[in-house]
Structure 1
Amino acid sequence: MATPDWQALIREKRAFRESQIPAEWRLDKKVTSQAHRDNPISAFDLLHQTNLKADKNIDTGDVEGFDASALDGAPAHVQVVGWSLRDEEVLMATEVIAEILGNTYKMKI
């Protein structure tokens, strides 16, 4: 049985992935070169340096059923860290957290 050339396979898959991304969606090197762990620049500042714009803005007042007061006191994010947990346990914990947050902050967006 022949051993596959993993480096060639990786190059081929990366080339295919790159060919699927339109040029206008790509970030300029001057922006991506600034994105590293030691640079304190904000991701929002980097975003302002790009030509990426949303197709449209959505006013939350126009969204039926949206109630910003439901977000009052909601956690900004939830992080689950478990080095010794198995994948199934992490998935179960994530599902429980999602269910709790979903029941606590019911709203339609």
Structure 2
Amino acid sequence: MQLPSIFLMTAQGGQQGGSGFSFIFLGLMILIFWLFMIRPQAKKAKEQKKYIENLQKGDKIVTIAGIHGTINKVNEDGTISLEVSPGSYLKIEKSTISMEMTAAVNKKAAGTTETKA
């Protein structure tokens, strides 16, 4: 029996014992959706927000557009001044900074520095 027909029968009072099963099934679907979709996404958003709040001058970052640079100044209006090359500055929103790409680039840079030493 297909899922829509189960819900239609339950709504019409067609199956006496099936309504409890339908509600349990629906509850389990919502629980699984929350565990695998909503919870991890909320956790990641919280980590991203914390990461952006802790940025400071001198940090090397990568934006979601792929622009690499060093933070020159953190402004109060939610923007930063990003030095992309000596003497060239861009004013960007803090929300455009990619935590994952920045971590990957910094990890790769740390690995090449240790190899040279």
Answer with 1 or 2: which has the greater Rg: 2
Structure with the larger helix share = 2
Higher relative contact order (CA 8 A, sep 6+): 1
Structure with the larger strand share = 2
**What TM-score do the two structures reach when normalised by structure 1?**
0.26
**What TM-score do the two structures reach when normalised by structure 2?**
0.25
